[in-house]
Structure 1
Amino acid sequence: MNQLAAWFNYEATLKILLFSMLAGAFLPGLFAVGIRLQALGAGGAGADGRTSQPNPVLSGLAWLIYALVVTVIVFGVLFIARDFIAHHTGYPFLGARLK
C-alpha cells in the first residue's frame, strides 16, 4: 500500500473524478433544462389538447442556458490547449508557462 501512495496522487484523482462528474452530468442536464424551457416557451398544443401562448421569457432563458453551456465548453477546450496557444503566440494564455 505504501508503494502505491508513492506514485499515485489521491487528491488529484479525487479532483478529476469530481470535475468529470460535474461536467459529465451537470452540463448535459443543464442543456436538457434549456430544451424543456424552449419547448414550453414555444407554446402550441399540449398532450391534453389545450393550447398555450408562446412565452418569450422562457425562450430567452433557454437561449441563455445554451450560451452558458457553449461558453463552458469553449473555455474548457481553450484551457486544455493553453500551453499550445501560449507556445505559438508567445502570450501566457490562461496562466500557461512560456518555455
Structure 2
Amino acid sequence: MHTFVSIVKSLGEVVAIGIVLGAGLPILFGVGIRFWSLETVGADGSVARRNPVYQAVAYICFAIVLAAIVAGILYVAKDFISHTFDVQLFGAKPPKK
C-alpha cells in the first residue's frame, strides 16, 4: 500500500507541474497580451493612449514567462554548463578532474 501511495503522490506532482508549466505559462502570456492591448478610449471614440498600470501588468506577465523559459533552459543544460564553465546550477554534479 505504501508503494501505491508513493506512486500516486509522485504522479500528482508531475501532473501539477505539467498543468502549471504546460497551460499556465501560455495563459499568463495571453493575459499579458490582453493587458498590453488595452487602450484608453475618449468620450468621442478616439484612442488616447495605453494605461500605464495595464502596461506594467503586461510587463510583469512577460517577465515571469521569460524567467520560466530561461530557468527551464538552464535546468536542461545544467550538466553542460557545469562541465564547460565549472558553474553548478540546480544541484548539478561538479566536473570530475
What TM-score range do you get, normalising by the shorter chain?
0.7 to 0.9
Poorly superposed stretches of 4+, deviation over 6 Å: none
Q: Give the Cα–Cα distance (whole angstroms) in 2 for the partners of residues 21 and 66 of structure 1.
A: 19
Does the alignment pair 1:17 with 2:12? no
TM-score, normalised to structure 1, is 0.72
Does the alignment pair 1:50 with 2:67? no
By percentage of residues, which structure has more helix?
1
- The structural deviation recorded for 1:10 is 5.0
Partner of 1:84: 80
Q: Give the Cα–Cα distance (whole angstroms) in 1 for the partners of residues 78 and 14 of structure 2.
A: 18
The alignment-based identity, stated in percent, is 33
TM-score, normalised to structure 2, is 0.73
Q: Give the Cα–Cα distance (whole angstroms) in 2 for the partners of residues 81 and 13 of structure 1.
A: 24
